[in-house]
Amino acid sequence: MRDATGAPALRVSQVLGPVTALGPGRRLGLWVQGCPLACAGCMSRHTWDPAGGHDVSVERLARVWRRGLADGYDGLTVSGGEPLEQAQALAALLDTADQVRRDAGRADADLLVYTGWEEPEIAASPAASLALRHADAVITGRYRAGEPTRLVWRGSANQRLTPRTGLGRRRYGPHLDRRTDHPELQVQVTQDAVHIIGVPRPGELSSLARDLTARGLTFQENTWRP
């Protein structure tokens, strides 16, 4: 995809930071727009429509990433939506993000990608494999509401965290089998939305929404109900 000026661009749902609940440390979080996988129980139904969100050039995203690195961010998490639906733009983004971290002397800042695709689906797609060539780690697999898990950063037991580089192995190796009963959930409030960031356990979103309502917030809609 290209933006109005012809520059490489991604269809983006939102960009937030610092994100601390989707990967190690303080991170830039980028949620792409558009997902055809339609997992039952998905908490991000607002990211399904490929016509939603807005086009953001890779160059602009690179500027945000550069600022994040200057602020000491430990990594970039790309989620969605389905990033591999925009494989060419994702490749441009991660190529650029890799170059930016090197130029900034921050080759220690990692690139993590969430995708609903399974590893064999990625391996069978040259475009997807190319897109992920700079990803230090990937979390793969559809969300299955019937397979809850305590594994950190994963929503269901089938989802796999796979390091793909030396940095990925160093940073994510200790977390491959790490479990928690209390996964971190972040709440960030922007002008028109309350963003709940992280991988909630079943029922947690509704309970959090009830808490926030009790404190005076009124929800017009939420993203996890059909």
Q: Check residue 29 for interaction with ligand SF4 (CB under 6 A).
A: no
Which residue from 10, 133, 26, 25 is spatially nearest to 79, judged by alpha carbons? 10
Q: Check residue 37 for interaction with ligand SF4 (CB under 6 A).
A: yes
Looking only at the bridges linking them, the beta strands covering 137-140 and 110-115 are: parallel
User: Minimum distance between the CB of residue 23 and ligand SF4, rounded to whole angstroms?
Assistant: 16
* Region binding ligand SF4 by CB under 6 A among candidate stretches 31-39, 98-106, 130-138, 168-176: 31-39
Q: Check residue 81 for interaction with ligand SF4 (CB under 6 A).
A: yes
Edge-to-edge strands, sheet with 54-57: 54-57, 9-19, 27-32, 75-79, 110-115, 137-140, 160-163
> Which residue's beta carbon is nearest to the bound ligand SF4?
116
What single DSSP character describes residue 182?
S
Between 65 and 143, CB nearer to ligand SF4: 143
Tell me how far CA of residue 182 lies from CA of 7, 21, 101, 160, 177, in angstroms.
42, 11, 32, 19, 15
Name which of residues 163 to 182 contact ligand SF4 (CB under 6 A). Answer: none
User: Minimum distance between the CB of residue 206 and ligand SF4, rounded to whole angstroms?
Assistant: 17
User: Minimum distance between the CB of residue 169 and ligand SF4, rounded to whole angstroms?
Assistant: 25
Amino acid type, 69 = L
Assigned token pair, 88? 């060419």
Q: Check residue 116 for interaction with ligand SF4 (CB under 6 A).
A: yes
Q: Check residue 143 for interaction with ligand SF4 (CB under 6 A).
A: yes
* Whether the Cβ atoms of residue 86 and residue 122 lie closer than 8 Å to each other: no
Which residue from 40, 12, 46 is spatially nearest to 142, judged by alpha carbons? 40
* Region binding ligand SF4 by CB under 6 A among candidate stretches 11-19, 58-66, 79-87, 217-225: 79-87
User: Minimum distance between the CB of residue 37 and ligand SF4, rounded to whole angstroms?
Assistant: 4
Between 143 and 153, CB nearer to ligand SF4: 143
* Whether the Cβ atoms of residue 83 and residue 114 lie closer than 8 Å to each other: yes
User: Minimum distance between the CB of residue 9 and ligand SF4, rounded to whole angstroms?
Assistant: 20
Site of interaction with ligand SF4 (CB under 6 A):
35, 37-39, 42, 44, 47, 80-82, 116, 142-143
